[in-house]
Amino acid sequence: MVILVNPSILESSFIPDRLIARDGEIDRIMETVIKPTRNGITTNLILYGDSGTGKTVTMRYLAREIRDPYVIYVNAIAYRYVKNVLIDFLSKFGIIVPERSSYASLFTRIESLMKDQGKNVILVIDEAANILKSDYDGLYYLFRSKDSFDVNISTIFVVMEDPTILFDAKIRKSYGMFGEIKFRRYTKAEIYQIVMNRAVQSLTDGGYDDDVLDYIAEVSAEYGSARVGIDILAKAAHIAEYRRSPKISFDDVRAARSMISPFVTESKLASMDYEDLIVLLAVCRCLSTARFTDVECVSRNLGVISEQYGKKDINLYERIRRLENNGIISSSIEGQGRGEGVKKVISIYDIPISVLTEKIENLLNA
Ligand SMILES: Nc1ncnc2c1ncn2[C@@H]1O[C@H](COP(=O)(O)OP(=O)(O)OP(=O)(O)O)[C@@H](O)[C@H]1O
Ligand SMILES: [Mg+2]
């Protein structure tokens, strides 16, 4: 029994014809960045908000719809430097440059490219948290590119964190003024509309009814995330197909909900630094065949992994505390019995360890 006839509509790479409930945000981006850039005025913007609030799809939608200026979207999830972003940006125009290129030569290329094209450019850097937090030199070149290299380029950074947490006052001063736009969480009614719009395009007519979509919206509203809604819809359709039903039931929705990990998103991992990821990988190694683990096991694995990735002197206790605060790992204190003292027990509940391990390794090896 096939219910999901058009699966690509529910994939995260899909960009819909129109966005729901983001008109205000799009207007502000038009007024603060797109129109000024069209007229040769360079501005910078930070767009932030929780996972699944439509930051990425909105920017990719604008990159598709806006012809002047060019809106170039780069996903920096695997990048640590502005330089990587610029190289990626040039490659989108078929220009391949060596990794070792200097900023001067990169901006010279960009300048002649923009002259050829006769249009200004907005560079959208998605998953920009790591770059904003650590690549001061690269950002300096980017923000001074007008004065130093005569390149007029506006930038939109996309992150999850509130910018006030992301940089301290000193950095703020040296980076200069930024506009900010927050993407708020979606309401249940908005998620309902988004999920309905996708269901119409991807499922058989008899595969769902309004009540089921309403239930999906209700379950997802806790996270305010359109991604959670769409993921549950896709999974629920598969589950219904698997039990050979022509229609998604409430229980299919519950089963789908139990399978997704709304808290462990790519963005969340990308916003963690290198050392956090290394420690998390060590935790995963310990948990690959066990229900829970302890600091001793993590420490043993950390030795091997940190050597492999060339990082020494990691403060394990501090890192574990950060991962706990982040909500990725859970821990509890257990008595060892008979005066043996207590011990910290570590576990991960929200995501299969194999999936998490692969995601971390992709980031570390990038
Ligand atoms: N307003 C909207 N209208 C239609 N679809 C939307 C809307 N907002 C989000 N979506 C869909 O929801 C999913 C998640 O959105 P998106 O990837 O843009 O979230 P995000 O804010 O970038 O999250 P993250 O911080 O985790 O990267 C995507 O499939 C996207 O197409
Ligand atoms: Mg995103």
**Residue with CA nearest ligand 1 atom 25:** 51
pLDDT digits (tens, 9 = 90+) for 118-165: 889 999 999 998 898 888 889 989 988 888 888 889 999 999 988 887
Q: To test ligand 1's pocket by mutation, which of 227, 232, 351 has the most ligand atoms within 8 angstroms of CB?
A: 227
Any atom of ligand 1 within 6 Å of the Cβ of 328? no
Q: Among residues 200, 226, 259, which one ends one of the domains? A: 259
**Domain assignment of residue 264, yes or no:** no
Name residues with Cβ closer than 5 Å to ligand 2, which is an ion: 56
**Residue with CA nearest ligand 1 atom 29:** 12
Q: For residue 296, give the H/E element and its range.
A: helix 295-308
pLDDT digits (tens, 9 = 90+) for 186-231: 999 999 999 999 999 999 999 999 999 999 999 999 899 999 999 9
CB atoms within 10 A of CB 51: 21
Any atom of ligand 1 within 6 Å of the Cβ of 60? no
Tell me, yes or no, whether 248 and 147 share the same domain. Answer: no
CA 51–ligand 2 middle distance (angstroms)? 7
Percent of the chain with pLDDT over 90: 68
CA 127–ligand 2 middle distance (angstroms)? 7
Tell me, yes or no, whether 177 and 208 share the same domain. Answer: no
Closest atom of ligand 1 relative to the 183 alpha carbon: 21
The answer to whether 125 and 74 have CB atoms below 8 angstroms apart is: yes
- Among 154, 99, 155, 163, smallest CA distance to 129 is for 163
pLDDT digits (tens, 9 = 90+) for 312-363: 889 999 999 999 888 889 888 877 666 667 788 999 987 889 989 999 998 8
Q: Which ligand is nearest to the CA of 196?
A: 1
Backbone φ and ψ for 134, nearest 5 degrees, come out as -130, -20
Write down the pLDDT at residue 86: 97
Q: For residue 346, give the H/E element and its range.
A: strand 342-347
Instruction: Give the structural domain span for 61.
Output: 23-183
Tell me, yes or no, whether 213 and 254 share the same domain. Answer: yes
pLDDT band with cut points at 50, 70 and 90 for residue 174? low
Write down the pLDDT at residue 13: 93
- Among 356, 278, 350, 267, smallest CA distance to 320 is for 278
pLDDT band with cut points at 50, 70 and 90 for residue 102? very high
pLDDT digits (tens, 9 = 90+) for 273-297: 889 999 999 999 999 989 999 999 9
**Domain assignment of residue 28, yes or no:** yes
| CATH code for the domain in which residue 334 is found | 1.10.10.10
Question: What is the pTM for the complete model shown?
Answer: 0.82
Decide: helix, strand or coil at residue 357: helix
Q: Which ligand is nearest to the CA of 49?
A: 1
Bridge partners (DSSP) of residue 335 are 342
Length of the chain: 366
Q: Among residues 183, 201, 221, which one ends one of the domains? A: 183
- CA dist 359 and 351 (Å) reads 11
Q: Among residues 233, 259, 285, which one ends one of the domains? A: 259
Decide: helix, strand or coil at residue 94: coil
**Domain assignment of residue 149, yes or no:** yes
The CA–CA distances, whole Å, from 216 to 177, 256, 360 equal 41, 10, 29
- CA dist 262 and 229 (Å) reads 10
